[in-house]
Amino acid sequence: MSEATGTGKRVALVLGSGGARGYAHIGVIEALEARGYEIVALSGCSMGALVAGVYAAGQLGAYRDWVGKLDYIDVLRLVDVSWSPMGAMRANKVMAKLESLIGETLIEELEIPVTTVATDLVRQREVWFQSGPLLQAIRASIAVPGVITPVHLGEQVLVDGGLLNPLPIMPTISAQADLVMAVNVTAHSPHPVSLEALLPPEEAAEEAAREEEGGIAGWFEEVRRRTQRWFSSTEDDSDNGGAKAARQRAWGRLEMVLASFDITQATLAKYKVAGYPPDVLIEIPKTVCGAHEFHRAEALIRLGRHLADQALDSYETTPEGVQMAVHVGPKVATLAPVSESVPGVAGEQTMIDEAELRAPDAETADDATGGEASEEDSSGEDRGMASS
């Protein structure tokens, strides 16, 4: 639980990783603002870091307008295939757009405190960016291993923070907020759940029609062609079904990387929630869409707003003076006393070493770049500012 300030409307917001599903974070922010909540601290990983940074820089509206207009072909044009063995794509085109929005903004200059999380492959530790260039922090946090090339910062090789901490709740626990809200967009679900199944019926029908009209089959075929070079094989494709079969195999490998990463993040997120239960937890199953389906922004934004409204309805109707944790997932909104396990992680909480929870293996960007290491508090946790 966060330390209450008395207003009841100050939120520390945690935005998790999850690729395209991270568009739902925009809808959550819209729901909070529509109800008069004030976001006083932000923590994000991967796509969550991107949305958090853009919002804190005051450019979420412009970013929303841009992604809301992207169709299959527009997304394809943003794919800049890399010849590097460290990743299939450079993400230069996406970063150029972000640069046009946030420029050379420094994290410490933002009106809202922001922490973005990356992973250092050299030291095998998570890195918190709390100062320095915002654009660089976002780029490091979105570098999905093997898919987007990493960021080299001093001796660090930085990749997606979701590798170790897909739902970075801990940076927000000291915020002067009335509640901590976490949005997990890589949640496990007992059965596959589609995006349409979670949307209100009229919006679900609209999204299904849009997908049907979009010609997704042709789009996937072109993506396969463009990514084929990165996954090229020494095998003779003529003996295994020809060029078309080779393209299908190539895309299958990329999809396997993303799906494997999703599974890992979903499991890690459960442990983070068990260790630091938020006041409000919104969970979006990883099955609602692929991490690469960036053409579905509008539907995912609507989904985020819809689930956030459900969560806030439950939170706001909790009797005054009673501390309850709100959990919203696929077609469910539940309340539980904050002393109990958060729904969805029962039975796993005891598997976590308590010492590990109190002393996470995290560092700041200065720690591996020759800068002076910040002091650690009694819990062993590094709370210094990360910079370039």
313 is catalytic: no
Token digits for 37?
């909540």
Q: How far is it, in rounded angstroms, from Cα 113 to Cα 43?
A: 8
Residue 13: its H or E element:
strand 10-15
- Of 17, 43, 46, 141, catalytic: 46
Closest CA to 14 of 51, 54, 60, 67: 51
Identity of the residue numbered 121: L
Look at the chain and count its residues: 388
Who contacts 177 (Cβ-Cβ below 8 Å, separation ≥6)? 2, 3, 5, 10, 11, 12, 40, 41
The token pair at 230 is: 């990165």
Strands 156-160 and 151-153: antiparallel
The secondary structure of residue 173, as a DSSP letter, is T
At residue 125, φ and ψ (nearest 5 deg) are -140, 155
The yes-or-no answer on residue 46 being catalytic is yes
2, 43, 160, 309: the active-site residue:
160
The type of residue at 94 is: V
Neighbours of 109 (CB within 10 A): 11
**What DSSP line would sit under 93-111, residue for residue?**
HHHHHHHHHHTT-BGGGSS
Any idea which residue has 């099955």 for tokens?
A: 287
β-strands 280-285, 324-329: how paired? parallel
Q: How many other C-beta atoms lie within 10 A of the C-beta of residue 247? A: 22
Write the single-letter amino acid at 115: T
Alpha helices (runs of H) in the chain, residue ranges in sequence order: 24-34, 47-56, 60-68, 72-77, 92-102, 134-141, 195-198, 201-213, 216-227, 242-275, 297-316, 354-358
Q: Catalytic amino acids?
A: 46, 160
